[in-house]
Amino acid sequence: MARPMTMAEKILAAHAHLDEVEPGQLIECDLDLVLSNDITSPIAIKNFKKIGVEKVFDPTKIALVPDHYVPNKDIKSAEQAKQVREFAREQGITHYYEVGCMGVEHALLPEQGVVGAGDLIIGADSHTCTYGALGAFSTGVGSTDAAVGYATGKAWFKVPETLLFKIDGELNPGVTGKDIILYIIGMIGVDGALYKAMEFAGSAIRSLSMDQRLSISNMAIEAGGKAGLIEVDDITRAYMDGRTERPYTEYHSDPDAKYAKVYEIKASDIPPTVAFPHLPSNTRPVAEARDVKIDQSVIGSCTNGRLEDMRQAAAVLKGRKVHPDVRCIVIPATQQVYKQCIAEGLMDIFLDANCAVSTPTCGPCLGGYMGILAAGERSISTSNRNFVGRMGDPTSEVYLSSPAVAAASAVLGHIGLPEDLD
């Protein structure tokens, strides 16, 4: 009889064709998907060619999503996108998304049904851990690992220990998935889950929508996590049924599975939270940040650019104007989200509030374009990182928050809560 295992261990065991695995074990696994973008694909393509194989292992199991510097911001980014485009055509990659069809990769792939429960996914982007919200084991890797994945459809893993975060009770009004994960990172630190799987459970997690769950899993890497998993339930099934292009497999942690540590958190203890510079772990309640004036507010990214995020921001901005000293940039994460924003009248709200609205792109999140900060400027952002110089000049500052807080701050001219507008 197999030893009791966590979700992460079960998925890895299945893909290694083993009955059981244990933390620390080195295993070779079959992959369901290999992902890369316009920054990481060119390096992966170069390394793939060095391996000497002519064709990728399976053109239906590779996703190439140009989303960081597209639509191209300059000649260099245009050349990178061209390399990805040509490789996709040459290899017959089915999941290649050109400008006009693309979106921010970690919002696009779940939406399009490319990823699902039980999958083992590697991506040459650290926020590949997002898909754990669907009950998958997905993790970021370097471009060389992605190249080997292109060629062989396999990767080596050291089985990680799992940390369990049980969040029970009712969340306070205005507290979102983003606040939950910021609170956890603030509690354990940016290396608190180093090379460990993070599993999120409890009644508060079960009460969350899919968009909120995806935000939580997205930021597992900001605590050092190898993956961030949430158990499949009726909300997950409702999202995946009729959407995923392949049948999905549910894996549930055994009741007596061994965890490296169990954190029990009362949902009511989690406030609307903001991360101060220059680490996602430098968190404080938003209520303690009201003296921070801002120059820019960015609402979007692979963390918070989904439809529910847009609705939260629009609910705050409706009938209001962005502060004259603030630039508010709204970026729906996919074309589908963009279209739905138009259909629901959210675009009118954003434009009437004097926001700038962009086509889907990662742009400002990584200091790419569409919102670079000058020396000494401050931005509140719904993205996932606020390292030194992350969005521009090394003396600029980035504060991380939920969409509602970013929208309220844009109107106030300083960090604040929606209720501060009343």
SS3 label, residue 167: strand
Known binder of ligand: residue 101? no
**Peptide bond between residue 59 and the one before it cis (omega within 30 degrees of 0):** no
Spatial distance between the Cα atoms of 217 and 128, rounded to a whole number of angstroms: 9
Spatial distance between the Cα atoms of 166 and 175, rounded to a whole number of angstroms: 16
* 175, 180, 185, 187: CA torsion to nearest 10: 80
Known binder of ligand: residue 355? no
Which pairing describes strands 154-158 and 261-266: parallel, antiparallel, or unpaired? Answer: unpaired
Tokens at 224, concatenated: 């050092």
Measured in Å, how far apart are the chain's first and last C-alpha atoms? 60
Known binder of ligand: residue 362? yes
Which pairing describes strands 33-37 and 62-65: parallel, antiparallel, or unpaired? Answer: parallel
Q: Closest by alpha carbon to 381, among 319, 294, 270, 321?
A: 294
Which residues of 171-268 form beta strands (DSSP E)?
A: 196-201, 227-230, 261-266
Spatial distance between the Cα atoms of 358 and 312, rounded to a whole number of angstroms: 18
Tokens at 310, concatenated: 């847009």
Query: Could you tell me which residues are beta bridge partners of residue 285?
Result: 273
3-state helix, strand, coil in the chain (%, to 5): 35, 20, 45
Tokens at 108, concatenated: 């696009």
Between helices 41-51 and 75-91, what is the axis angle to 10°?
50
Residue 60 burial (CB < 10 Å; 0-12/13-18/19+)? middle
Tokens at 2, concatenated: 């197999």
Q: What angle do CA 178, 184, 190 make, to 5 degrees?
A: 105
Concatenated DSSP letters for 246-304? S--------TT---SEEEEEEGGGPPPEEEPTT-TT-EEEGGG-TT-B-SEEEE-HHHH
Bind-site residues for [4Fe-4S] cluster: 302, 362, 365
Bind-site residues: 302, 362, 365
